[in-house]
Structure 1
Amino acid sequence: MNIPISILDLAPVVTGSNSAQALRNTISLAEHADRLGYSRFWVAEHHAMPGIASSAPAVLVGEIASRTPRIQVGSGGVMLQNHRPFVVAEQFGTLEALHPGRVDLGVGKNSGIEPAAVKALGLSGAQQSTEEFVRAVDELRRYFDDESIAVPAAGNRPRMWMLGASGRSAKLAGLLGLRFAYAHHINPTETVAALAAYRATFRPSRDFTKPHALITAPVICAESEEEARNLAKPGALAFLRMRNIKPGAEPHNFLPAPLDVEKHIYSHEESEVVERYFATQVIGNPEQVRKNLEELLSETQADELMMTAMVHDHHDLIRSYELIADTLPMSAYK
């Protein structure tokens, strides 16, 4: 498994804490990831979600880059429907100028926001069409050209990726000649087909001459399988709560504490949902995690692996990534 291995973090707000602490935890995790030899550290974009503190990727990327000497830092990703390409170019051109060669700009088509934020962002609420997205991507790329009016983006070009979780987005990434980051943690059933479609449709561009695909997988590691499953249970309960939200009900957005998990009485149907949730995760001791990830990469032939995890205790999350780093070879950045 001699490929770059990286981390995606959502800055989850856990029960009993707040968004400021969640952001500090993300920065702390990035510092540990840098020391452990991980290749990239990406942050997401979500709006109006009390349980997710990562709403301003450019700001968070800048802070992380200033705290770490080596690791690639980026967005997983910036949703272009929410922003003017000119502003995105200025932001990430600034980051690339300040941290040359270390900045990834991952862009996505979906808005990635809750309905409550649509009006605040001045959006229509309609989903961006493929044609509109392609125009936005092309415009964004041009702003990084040397003669661009977008200072300091002109001449300071970050490494650009397209994000997606479907075969349609995979084909689009290929046609645009971009690197592709597939959200296996969101849609694991289409991963193999999506990556095949990406490679089949790839057209070389000025930025990339050959296809390059990354997959994001949910991974939790501990000294024993039982401990790893216990660490995964708050995320499973959070998933269950979001799935069971009734119209008009107040969502449970925070990552539950272990005590919440112990108190929750699972129905038969809920238990089945949780088991299906666990089946889509890579959860176990170091040897189990290594074996499962090797099988996943063999099946998908991905060029890079990015991991994400929802763990209540920050120290447990760091320990999980430490165990993985000890188990998997940390390849040089590509």
Structure 2
Amino acid sequence: MPVPLSVLDLSPVPAGSTVTDALRDTLDLARSAERAGYARFWLAEHHLNPGVAGASPAVLMGAVAAATATIRVGSGAVQTGYRTPLSVVEDFGTLDGLHPGRIDLGLGRSGGSRLPSREPDGRGDRVVDGVLIPAPVSLAAIASSPRFRAQAAALRQPGAQVPPYEEFLDAVDGLITGTWTPGGVEVRAVPGEGAALQTWVLGSSGGESAVLAGRRGLPFAANYHVSPATVLDAVAAYREAFRPSDRLGRPHVMVSADVVVGTDDAHAARIAEGFGPWVHSIRTGAGAIPYPRPEDADALPADPALVTDRVATRFVGGPATVADGLDRLRAVTGADELLLTTITHRHADRVASQELLADEWARRG
């Protein structure tokens, strides 16, 4: 039986379009995902990117949840370095109060003063049971970019200190359960305490996020689409650290992937054009450009050293081709769920892509 499919949306802004168009497209994509039978619809958090409108997951989640009826709605992920535990719990407690039992709280150890740390480690490309695990790519350009530093300055109060991630998770959990007493003082989150939130930890490597998710018995989302080089490390570290909790008796992993599904392989390849230049804009530290038109892609920069790992690990093709690739990814990672993100210039192609895949996935079930 195929594992459940879910959607991660960045609210991409296509070239020639507007932020308003992008946000409305997200609502339309969510309604389509619900009709097609996807399990979850998650919203990403990105800042200072001209080509991405998804900057405030909690606000957009409220609109998505109101525009749908049954699909779970979540964050993928809240950047904890720019927030306090109380503000997160109050925001998501409000969402749960309005849409009980449908809200996922996805947390990411990102933002704040922490710079991207993924660097080449000497490992080359390898193929594991048909799944490409590429060599790591340096993120030095992002870490040294003025935009990255400006983002940190714009999103943090002057002099604010980012707490250790484990302390942040402790506070979030304690506020939801009503057991957080900093300095011996009882602190009550209203709304938030007692909320029926499903808390997830997201991670890109075998580092702290994966280990803490395992130790705390939380479900874990591993990023194949952002960091395909380290997805197996992340999953292995999570499973090794896992301890059963009152929420989970066994490890539960969701793995993300970039996909574009067309009517056939050739059609998918055409509508998928533009991804390389878009990734290039992010990894040079300039910020995501508006997603290019397919006919403009060849004229835009796309340094292979910066983009090949992402382009080569994107699942592009007709429904059967992409479903076969995702099934291999599921088998190699042992994923219990798959989280899919699709970016094309035309919104109609994104909607059709997720509907074609859902039909093929259901047929196999």
TM-score, length-normalised on structure 2?
0.82
Q: Residue by residue, what CA displacement relative to the aligned partner does 1:224-272 show, whole Å, maximum 9, x if unpaired?
A: 2122122221122211344456xxxx65621112232154487xxx468
Aligned pairs for 1:274-293 within 5 A: 276-293=309-326
Tell whether 2:255 aligns with 1:215.
yes
Give the aligned residue type for 1:47.
H
> What residue is the counterpart of 1:154 in the other structure?
193
CA distance in 2, matches of 1:284, 1:6: 19
Give the Cα separation in 1 of the matches to 2:37 and 2:287.
37
Q: What residue is the counterpart of 1:111 in the other structure?
A: 111
SS at match of 1:51: coil
User: 2:102 matched to 1:62?
Assistant: no
1:136 paired residue number: 168
Residue 298 of structure 1, aligned match among 315, 331, 340: 331
Change (3 A) 1:205 1:271: closer
* Change beyond 3 A, Cα 1:276–1:153: closer
Would you say the 8 A contact 1:11–1:54 is kept in 2?
A: yes
Aligned residue type for 2:168:
A
One-letter identity of the residue aligned with 1:137: L
Q: Counterpart of 1:309? A: 342
Alignment correspondent of 2:141:
none
SS in 2 for 1:170: helix
Do 2:277 and 2:297's aligned partners in 1 also have CA atoms closer than 8 Å?
yes
SS at 1:218 equivalent: strand
Identity of aligned residues (%): 40
- Runs of 5+ unmatched residues, structure 2: 113-146, 180-186
- Structure 1, unmatched stretches of 5+, are none
Classify the secondary structure of the residue corresponding to 1:220. Answer: strand
- Give the match for residue 82 of structure 2: 82
CA offset at residue 173 of structure 1?
A: 1.2
Provide the alpha-carbon RMSD of the alignment: 2.5
**What SS does structure 1 have at the residue aligned with 2:51?**
coil
Give the secondary structure class of the aligned counterpart of 2:345: coil
Q: Is the 8 A contact 2:222 2:256 kept in 1?
A: yes
Aligned to 2:48: 48
1:199 and 2:239 correspond: yes
Shift of 1:82: 0.6
**Distance in 2 of aligned mates of 1:145 and 1:204:** 18
Task: Give per-residue Cα distances to partners, 1:197-234, cap 9 Å, x unaligned.
Answer: 21121112333332111000111110121221222211
Q: What is the DSSP-based 3-state SS (H/G/I as helix, E as strand, rest coil) of the residue aligned with 1:135?
A: helix
Distance in structure 2 (CA, Å) of the matches to 1:238 and 1:145: 42
Q: Distance in 2 between matches of 1:290 and 1:328?
A: 7
In 1, Cα distance between equivalents of 2:39 and 2:229? 26
Shift of 1:110: 1.1
The alignment of Structure 1 onto Structure 2 pairs a total of residues equal to 323
The residue that corresponds to 1:171 in the other structure is 211
Residue of structure 1 equivalent to 2:353: 320
Three-state SS of the structure 2 residue aligned to 1:114 is helix
For 1:121, the aligned partner's letter is L
Instruction: Provide the C-alpha distance between the structure 2 equivalents of 1:297 and 1:329, rounded to a whole number of angstroms.
Output: 16
CA distance in 1, matches of 2:363, 2:71: 12
The code of the aligned residue for 2:205 comes to S
Contact 1:41 1:73 in 2 (8 A): yes
